[in-house]
A and B are shown apart, each in its own frame.
Chain A
Amino acid sequence: MVASTSKYKYIVCDPELCIGCQLCEYICSYTKTGEFNSYRSRIRTVRVDEVLITAVACRTCENAPCVIACPRDALSQDQETGIIRIDPTKCDGCAWCIEACEFGAITINHQTKLAEFCNQCEDIEEGPQCVLICPKDALEYTTPDQRAQRTRRKLIESSLGFPQKAKDPR
């Protein structure tokens, strides 16, 4: 699988936990458009067969290929957050960014014909709404470093079976 090169935060889905309910799409489209419509969601679930299910949103790649690919310089990347920003006066929906994206995380809005990206609900204090609603905690708002740290902790917990200290030593 292609790995994200991001140093920024992004929304990631654990396919082991994702049940494919699409509640993330409902809340995303509502947050962005005021309507419930998967076609307008910036996070998309994908189901390859009955059990291969996950959800994908912008991975905030470093040196984002979509930005590089855009022939009209309509895209730029926020250096603080990695969020991809779009200049609607320049974007003409040519979809080169979609072809450049390794994750299929970009869509073209059918009505405006502009590309749409996950912006991690940066204008909402509680953060990404999809992460909040996900009933199985399959979605996480995180960075690759944090994921690696967690994996290392899990590894030691599961494979090294030392006797465990009582949870609360007091």
Chain B
Amino acid sequence: MYGYSGKILHIDLNERKHWVEEKPEKWYKLYIGGVSMASRLCWENIEVGCDPYGPGNPICFANGIFSGTPVPVGGKYGLASKSPLTGFIGDSLSGSWFSVALKRARWDGVVIHGQSPNWIYIVIDDERVEFLPADKLLGLGTYETEEKIREIFGDDQLRSATIGPAGENMVRFANVTNDGRQAGRTGHGAVWASKKLKAVSVRGTYGVTVADPETLLKMSFDITEVAQGPYTEKYRLYGTSTNVLNANKHGFLPTRNFQEGTFEFAELVSGEYLDEHHKVKVIACAQCPIACEQMSIVKYGPYAGSMSGVEYESLQAVSSNCGISDMAAAIRMVEIADSCGMDTMSMGVSVSFAMECYEKGVLAKEDFKCKKYPEGFEANFGNGEAGVTLAEMIRDVEGIGALLAEGTRIASETLDKERNAETYKWSMNIKGLECPGYDARSLKTFAMGLAVGVRGGCHNRSAAYDPDIQGETNRFTVDETRGEVAARAEEYAAVYDTLPLCKFIRRCFTGKADRAGAWPSIAKLINATTGWNYDYDDVELIGVRAHTIKKAFNIREGWQPKDDDIPYRWKHEPMTKGVGAGHVVTDEELEYMKQLYYQAKGWTEDGMLPKQLLIDLGMEDVAEEVGV
């Protein structure tokens, strides 16, 4: 078998032992890799109904099919556990060398079971597995941890996925970092901390071979060359943060905790501003010829020396969404999140939630007491130092930070109970996962796409913002096409998340990003790697299965149709400014679109999976457990 080793590594933290599971080629053909295979491993290995922080919740890595080959942007892996934020599937992707090392160590996936009594880290050295005490690593930031482990082993090519101090402190949206990239969302860092697992390090020394290297190289060369042209220009020159001004123009830039969709200081927190005043260098993930990460530094002022790679989602969450127009504070907040291992998006929305609580009188100055400000501070929107301090307090679970570190859903429920408040009206999460940087009141297809999203408020998995923004659908209204549009958008995204290939390459195959433009080339790449005979329809099914296994996971964990919902604000409080002014998504509209969506997916009226549909996808064992 080319492209795979056929082996999954299982590690038990209680018994400190490991074993190998061999998987047949048929299994790989169904689940491929990335989020799909990781979710499938989670489906197979979880104790159903377990506490996300308990020993029954496994950590599941699944490598990418193209990792370790020169296929551009193919160096990625998927990570899945039950999410402590949502209670449903937590599936994330991260790029770079960790996945390549794992491939060269000849593991298609790694499943970590149980809980360790003491802090440890695991070293996977080709086929050897070692459990080592992590005492010397505790308290270190994500990058420092990686460097420290490299220093201990004396090998620059040893790659680690780690958690930072925020993870150690069980911040519910803590994440896992490797090589400066993050498996960012759904709180993997907290799951790792519950197992007292500080890092997983991998050294792989075997070469990677593919079925048809000549074809693979030729295609890789061609795509690499195209990727230097106009199709990726936006990512190469400014990175994703160039979206700030676009989002502002189109009136969906989250502003002051999603109260408005336009920000009067958008210019000051734009990718263009970042480029002019802060950019140091662009860097890339493993085997990526695009290089979108814009490393940016603060040159003077109280945050001088702060440096981070600033992406659109991070940037909007900590700047416009908190009303903050000070780019230096934004860079510092992203740096705190990245170096301490937490999700910038959930952190930004938690900070903005606290700011709105302050402005609405639910929280007062003395609620913000901390070591840095013993008297508390004014946590108003726009206060950059308040944003930075709140990020630090969340990291250290200090004072009000301890509540905010639970995410907006728990924080809001707690405040409403303890203070008889109505903070649920501005608690911006979906299934417990904080909303991404698109105000969906005036992106109605996307609003429904988010509502039905299997991992909660995530733009990457839904992807239905694209038709709304591109004008393929009327973003301000609903009609009978929306179910189909949202269903196909998320399946399209799932193909990329499963291979995984970074979506930024999507136009570089033929110039067109749609299925007809990309699937034939992707099928060729798969065939050259594995020696299979995949075609357009097989590629399409990759996405359908990826999404279906996650949905099945959620149903088994107790999903109900009422979980497919959007925040109160998007249903009841229209914006007053910008092109999106006056719009909300009513309960009726949402319900109507959800029904259309369930139909388009071929599911039942209450969103359950029909047995036959699962059997047709080759998922008989899943059909038996959750099919109706």
Contact = CB atoms under 8 A, between A and B. Distances in A.
Contact of A36 (B143, B207, B227): B207
Contacts of A33: 207
A135 B289 contact: yes
Given A19-B288, A38-B104, 4 more contacts: A19-B282, A36-B210, A133-B224, A135-B291
A50 B289 contact: no
Given A50-B143, A50-B180, A36 B68 contact: yes
Interface residues of B, number: 38
B287 A23 contact: yes
B157 A50 contact: no
B283 A19 contact: yes
Interface stretch (A24-32, A61-69, A160-168): A24-32
B500 to A, nearest CB: 16
Contacts of B225: 135
A133 B70 contact: yes
A133 B221 contact: yes
A129 to B, nearest CB: 10
A34 interface: yes
A35 interface: yes
B284 A19 contact: yes
Given A19-B282, A20-B283, A37 B288 contact: no
Contacts of A110: 205
Interface string A34-58: 1111111000001001110100000
Contacts of B97: 22
24 contacts: A19-B282, A19-B284, A19-B288, A19-B291, A20-B283, A21-B288, A23-B70, A29-B207, A30-B213, A33-B207, A34-B209, A34-B213, A35-B209, A36-B69, A36-B210, A38-B157, A39-B157, A39-B205, A51-B307, A132-B221, A135-B224, A135-B227, A135-B228, A136-B289
A32 to B, nearest CB: 10
B217 A30 contact: yes
Interface of A: 16, 19-23, 26-27, 29-30, 33-40, 46, 49-51, 53, 110, 132-133, 135-136
A30 B70 contact: yes
Contacts of B208: 35-37
Interface string B267-288: 0000000000000111111111
Interface of B: 68-70, 97, 100, 104, 143, 156-157, 180, 205-210, 213, 217, 221, 224-225, 227-228, 280-291, 295, 307, 309
Contacts of A22: 97, 100, 286-287
B479 to A, nearest CB: 43
Contacts of A50: 143, 180, 283, 295, 307, 309
Contacts of A35: 207-209
A149 to B, nearest CB: 26
Contacts of A23: 70, 224, 287, 289
Contacts of A38: 100, 104, 157
Given A23-B287, A135-B289, A51 B156 contact: no
Contact of B291 (A27, A36, A136): A136
